[in-house]
Amino acid sequence: MPPRLQRSSMRWRYLLEVDLVDLILYWPQSLAHLDLQFNEIEVPPAPLPPNLRTLILRGNSPDGDRANEWIPELPPTFRLLSMEDAGSAIFDLAPFSEVVYSNSIWT
């Protein structure tokens, strides 16, 4: 990935967590917006880029019971998670300011 990349969109790629394993070694430090909409991701890749502010997971099937595996790993810069079908565990663990859930914003 380009070293100054700020936004990346990997929509509709039918990606699984295993497809992202190699990418986590090469996240650009500048990446602030990661769009993984409409894939087949149950648990987002970790670690995520250190300056990530937005993660879009809509159209995936995140496993709310496994939220404790990835929510605590979100970087301190993180502000917005966009997803649907999130379990309450995700909201309970969320260290960020907004969650877009079923077209509503929870703050």
For 51-92, the pLDDT digits (tens) are: 999 999 888 877 777 877 888 888 888 888 887 655 555 655
Q: Is 28 within the bounds of a domain?
A: yes
Residue type, 15: L
Q: Is 23 within the bounds of a domain?
A: yes
Separation of alpha carbons 74 and 70, rounded Å: 7
Sheet holding 104-106, edge to edge: 7-9, 33-35, 54-56, 80-83, 98-101, 104-106
pTM: 0.80
Q: Is 34 within the bounds of a domain?
A: yes
pLDDT band for position 103 (50/70/90)? very low
**What is the total count of domains within the chain?**
1
Look up the domain containing 52 and give its range: 7-106
Q: Is 42 within the bounds of a domain?
A: yes
Q: Is 2 within the bounds of a domain?
A: no
Mean confidence (pLDDT) of the chain: 80
